[in-house]
Every structure is written in structure tokens, then in C-alpha cells.
Structure 1
């Protein structure tokens, strides 16, 4: 019987497996897609997330950024991180670096998906539908669902969230050009935001978030100043995700635990998803090693509290046109408050 079976081989799942292996546990990852897993993502790791990555022995090629800048026409506000830089890194590069580290530690990856599961007081029995056919059974002491916003494993556990409103969606693509800034820029418009992350010396990622469902180039047209900056060619296809908000009933059910986007999600407006996934994967494994899996729920809530509160506050302001127009001007007039909010997230 293995110690930890992880459903999902993205950053949250691989990080969980790496933490488990570093703690002396046998970890196996089940992932249906071969090669690097790409998805719509802002691709920015806050300083805390970058520090966790280093503590895991993971080296990912990327580009450091010094802080966060908000832009809305002639208004702008920026804050520098107090505890060192974050890092912008292509999702595929991060996945490849995590995969290499997992392989070094002996983590085994099964190509397939969790089909069925059954829990007992001492184990979880999982039927895995292998990519090449067949449905082998795997027995594990613990099952970790790390398979994304719309987690199939979470659904099998009966922890799917009720529908949430308002619904927001994200899209992202990359442009081949030298980054013009060493900040992550958040550009504001009436209907949404655009996030610019330098992810390499010759590559910029641009993600748009909005409650409107329309083509990427139509969203981008809301940001003429940003469009004028994008003087390099688009070099990746548009990837989308949503709806983003996922209210999950619990992060723990018996011997199964949820991590990453599968554990619940408010919104990408603060850009902290990847860092929170790495931090919570470490907390999850520590709870398992201590023999206190139920403590993970409280640990997750503590880790995500500032993120959830600040994100919810920004979303409330965003959905009222009058207050939405004041977000960046207020941040510009109150730089100390803006810096404190950035520090709280970073």
C-alpha cells in the first residue's frame, strides 16, 4: 500500500508529491495528460511561493519581478515586495521543473485518471482508468485531489460546490518581446482586468479576467494603452478557464484531502493562486505526517485567509461601477495602504 496517491499532475499535485517524498512517504501521481500541463494562468509566484519552490529543491527558469503595479489610464500605483522578488515563470516550465524534482525523489506517475474510489477506516481504494486501457486498483493510505477548478475527484467525494454568482472567466496568451517592466502590471477597465507578467527575458504573458464571455482580442481592446505596448507577435494559443469561483464544502473527507484549485477558489484578481497551492501542499503533508489530517482544514483556512478577504473586497468593489473606477486612484492616493495590501498577499 502506498502512502499518498495524488489525483492531478499540475503544480499543486506535483508539489504535494514532492513534499510527501521529502517527508519519507511514498507518493504516486495520477495524471491523464502526458508532458507539461498548460492552462490559463497568470504565471506569477509571489515571494512566499518562490521561497517554497526553493525549499523543495525546484529550480524553474523564469524572470524575477519586484512588485505589483496597478494601471488605469493616467492613474497608477505600485508597491515593491519587502521580502525579495517574486518570479514569473511559464506554466509549462514550472511543470517541467516540478516533474524533474519529483522524478529525482522517486515519485511515480501513472498515466490515467481516477475512475472510482472507496474509503475504509485505514485506506482508500482507487480504480484508475489507465490511458492505454484497463482499470487497475490502487490502494493508498491517503488520497489527494489536485485536479483543478472542476475537479472530477472532488465530485466523486461529494464535495462539489453549489453554483456561485457572479461568474468570472480568465484567458491568457503570450507575446514574444522584451518585458518593459520588472513589475506585474494589472490594467483596469470597466469590464475587467488585464494582467501582464514577465515570464522570460523575451516573453510576456497577458491574462484577462472578466464576467463577460467573449473572444480574447475583444477583451484586449478594452485596454488600448496595453495594446500599444504589445509590439511583439502572439506566440501561444489563447487558453481559457472558468467559472473561477468555486465554493467547496470541505477540504477533508475521511482519508481524502483537496489541494490547489480543487480545494476552492475565489478569483484570480490578486494573482496568488500558484503560491497558495505550493504553501497549502506543504501544510497538507505536514498534517499527514503528524497523523492529524483533519487539521488540514484549519491550516488551509489560515493560509488562505488574507487572500480570501482581500480578493472578496476587490471583487465587491469591482462589481459596483462607481467604486470600481476608484480602485486605482485610491491606491495612488494611499500608497501606504496599497503597499500594506501587497505585502499581506506577498
Structure 2
């Protein structure tokens, strides 16, 4: 019998498959989309994510970056925090997904072009997409159909503004070896160096407007970008998605499907790859129920810091002070950056 049936062939699902194969489990991934899979993403890997991927034997192409720079969109005030544990990596989402898929294939993981619709389980097995396994891992993204189908999506909190992500690539030489985060009154723009002649610009916002309109909020950034962008815009959201549990019988959730706060701190891929390892550890030990506690401990800092920044972002008087305070207290900002790293 299959040990792990993984719904979703993005980074979280493939990292789970690789962890499982390295642990000696039989793993099958269900993914209807052909490789490489693209999605709206900041495309910046924190140093811990780079290390975790290297430990899995996954080569990460791209452009190194040394830290994070906050930039006030109105006045140009800036704060910088450099990594102490080695560089991060700006990597195109398609390159990362293809590298993970290649490593999984080399380990003998089968990928089937199937979509998970109905999930059935008992105390011994779980069935989905015509296959039966010991466990099903739902790694099917922000709006996880498996999570929704099992009734495990947390209710939306009324009055909380929804946030969305938009991303576009530009053919321009990176002007910095840092990831820049430009802060405007209502949104942030993340600039990630991806190669010698390419940057990615991701906008996080609660305002539903086209990308070009969003970009006008950042005049300092707009002035650096060519008028003709290299690629179309990709979008995602609403970003905040809750899950009532990470373990539901023989179904376990990883990556965005396990619950997501926001992309503001850039930790999503780090947490996905690390949580995948914890999930496989718990399953291999025959104690899958322990994954819930492991996930909560692993993500506690991310949830607290991201939630605090979002709380401040939603209050205009505080939001205006985020970059000035970071600039005035560089040691605090650097410590925060390294906690994330």
C-alpha cells in the first residue's frame, strides 16, 4: 500500500514527497498541472529555506541576496538588516518547482496527473482519486479543496480587510543585493533580485486595483522599472486562510493548505519545507497526531510577528511609523530580520 498520497505538486507537496522518499516511504503525488508550475510569489528564499533545500539535495538556482531593506515610499527613508547565517536566494518559482520535481523523480516518487475531489477514510486507510494509502497529505494550496471538502476551513473574521498578492517580472539589472520592501500607506512592494537582468516585484495590498495602479503608490520604485514589463501579472488571495486543524484522521495538511496568515514576512517557503519534514517524522514514527503540536511550535513565531505587523499595518498612525522606527532602531530591525532568516 502507498504510504503517503500527496495532493499537490507545488513546493510544499514535493518537499513532503522528498522527505518521505528519503525516509523510505512509498510516495505518490497527485498534480493535474504540468511542471513547471508558476504562481504569484515573492520568490525570495530565506537562508534557512536555502539550507533546508540543500539538505534535501535540491539545487537552488537564482541570485543570492544579503538581507532585507525597508523603504518608505513617501520619503525614501530606509532601514537595512543583513543576514548573519549566509545569504538568501532569489529564485523564480518555476525554477524552484522544477528542481523539486526533478529531485522527487530521482528518488522514485511517482507523479500522477489527477485531481483530488472526494476523500474517504477509515481507521486504517484513506482513499482519493482512485488510490488508497495509509495517509493523505493535503498540499493543495491557499484555497485547499481538500480542506474545504472536509469542512476544516476556519470561518472568516468579520471586519478584517482581505489582502491580495500580485507579482510581475521586469527585465532590468538588480540595483541591490538586498530584497527591498517598499511601504506605502496601504500596501507593500517587494523587489527580489532573480538574476543578472531580472527582478520580481510583488505587491501585497488590501486594495483591489490593477498592478499598474498599485505601482503608482511607489514612485521611487516605479522610476527604476522599465515601462515594458517582461511578464504578465499573477495574483493570489485572499491571503489569510485558516484551518481548524492540521490533522484530521489520516489526512494531514502542509504548506498554505495548513493555514496562512500573510506573505508580509516572506517565511512561507521556509515553513512549508520545514513542516514537511516534521510531518514525515511524525508519520514515520507512527504518531501522526503529534504533527499538530509540531506545526504550532514551528509556526508560532511567524504567526505572532506577521499578525503583529498586520495589526500595525491596519492602523494608519502606526503604519506610518514602521519604517522610521526600523531606521531609528537598526539593531532591533536586524535582530528581527535574523529571526526570520
- Normalised to the residue count of structure 1, the TM-score between the two structures is 0.96
- Could you tell me how far 1:74 is from its partner in structure 2? 2.6
Query: Which of 78, 82, 85 matches 1:83?
Result: 85
Aligned counterpart, 2:15? 15
| Structure 2 residue matching 1:295: 3-state secondary structure | helix
Misfit runs of 4+, over 3 Å: none
Alignment partners' CA distance in 1, 2:166 and 2:203: 5
SS class of match (2:60): coil
**In structure 2, distance between residues paired with 1:202 and 1:286:** 40
SS for the counterpart of 1:148 is coil
Q: Is the CA contact 1:176–1:232 (under 8 Å) kept in the aligned structure 2? A: no
| Alignment partners' CA distance in 2, 1:16 and 1:233 | 38
**Alignment partner of 1:335 is 2:330:** yes
Counterpart-to-counterpart distance in 2, 1:36 and 1:91: 8
Question: What per-residue deviation string (whole Å, max 9, x for no partner) do you get for residues 123-160 of structure 1?
Answer: 1011x2xxxxxxxx201001000010000011122211
Picking from 301, 304, 308, the partner of 2:299 is 304
* Residues 133-148 of structure 1: pairs in structure 2 closer than 5 A: 137-148=130-141
Partners of 2:197 and 2:278 in 1: CA distance: 35
CA contact (8 A) 1:175 1:232 kept: no
For 2:327 and 2:298, how far apart are their aligned partners in 1? 28
- Matches of 1:145 and 1:221 in 2, distance apart? 38
How far did 1:247 drift? 1.4
The 8 Å contact of residues 44 and 91 in structure 2, kept in 1 or not, is answered as yes
Q: Aligned to 2:288, what secondary structure does the other structure show?
A: coil
1:256 aligns with 2:251: yes
Distance in 2 between residues matched to 1:296 and 1:29, nearest whole Å = 20
Alpha-carbon deviations, 1:258-279, whole Å to 9, x = none?
0000000000111111111111
Is the CA contact 2:68–2:178 (under 8 Å) kept in the aligned structure 1? yes
Given that residues 164 and 204 in structure 2 are in contact (C-alpha distance below 8 angstroms), is that contact kept between their aligned partners in structure 1?
yes
Residue 188 of structure 2 aligns to a residue whose secondary structure is strand
User: 1:189 and 2:184 equivalent?
Assistant: yes
* Deviation for aligned residue 1:242: 0.5
User: Does the aligned pair in 1 maintain the 2:50–2:60 contact within 8 Å?
Assistant: no
Q: Tell me the CA shift for residue 60 of structure 1.
A: 2.1
String of CA shifts for 1:269-319, please: whole Å, max 9, x gaps: 111111111111111111111111111111111111111111011111101
State the Cα deviation string for residues 56-88 of structure 1 (Å, max 9, x = none).
000021111110100002310011111111111
Q: Which residue of 1 aligns with 2:340?
A: 345
Which residue does 2:173 correspond to in 1? 178
Gap change, CA 1:177 and 1:192, over 3 Å in 2: same
Partner of 2:161, secondary structure, is coil
The size of the alignment, in residue pairs, is 337
Determine whether 1:168 maps to 2:163: yes
CA positional deviation for 1:34:
1.2
Gaps of 5+ in 2: none
- What SS does the corresponding residue of 1:237 show, helix, strand or coil? coil
Say whether residues 1:274 and 2:276 are aligned partners.
no
User: Which TM-score applies when normalising by structure 2?
Assistant: 0.97
Counterpart CA distance in 1 for 2:112 and 2:142 is 21
Q: CA deviation at 1:232?
A: 6.8
Matched with 2:119 is 117
Secondary structure at the counterpart of residue 243 of structure 2? coil
Indicate the residue corresponding to 1:131 in structure 2.
none
Distance in 2 of aligned mates of 1:35 and 1:284 = 24
Is contact 1:177-1:232 (8 Å) kept? no
